[in-house]
Amino acid sequence: MNDAFVLYHNPRCSKSRAALALLAEHGIAPRVVHYLDTPPDAATLRALLRMLDLEPRALLRSGEDTYRRLGLASHALDDDALVEAMAAHPELIERPILVRGTRAVIGRPTERLRQLLD
């Protein structure tokens, strides 16, 4: 069953490292996707958003320089534009994201990951 878990991971992120540690404590070795090296395409991002039950804006890291540089705070941008921006600039994607089957959760705080460990 462990192979059902996928973690979108940034090894430089303390929350992402904490997510891996929490999963290891539960004997779970997820498939790890280093999303900065192998960014999800727009279709994958849309699927993740459906699993997370979020709008694209809620998955954006608004503190990133790229967010400001691309003017992503503008509400004139539609969902497709935001998804395309995340696909082109994966540093904009909130992390970590844990997927199990058809469900997903953002691991901020890390304890939220427990929702998928039942």
Distance CA 68, CA 56 (A): 16
- CATH number of the domain at 46, please: 3.40.30.10
- pLDDT bin (cut points 50, 70, 90) of residue 1 is very low
CA distance 46 to 52: 10
pLDDT in tens, 71-105: 999 999 999 999 999 999 999 999 999 999 999 99
**CB burial string 55-70: b at 16+ within 10 A, e below:** ebeebbeeeeebbeeb
Predicted confidence at residue 118, as pLDDT, reads 75
Statement to judge: residues 111 and 67 lie in one domain: no
pLDDT of residue 19: 97
Note whether 20 and 32 are within 8 A (CB).
yes
Domain that holds residue 1: 1-35+95-118
Answer yes or no: do 3 and 26 share one domain.
yes
Which of 7, 8, 12, 13 is flagged as catalytic?
Answer: 13
Please indicate whether residue 70 is annotated as part of the active site.
no
Q: What is the pLDDT of residues 22-75, one digit of tens each?
A: 999 999 999 999 999 999 999 999 999 999 999 999 999 999 999 999 999 999
Same domain, 48 and 81: yes
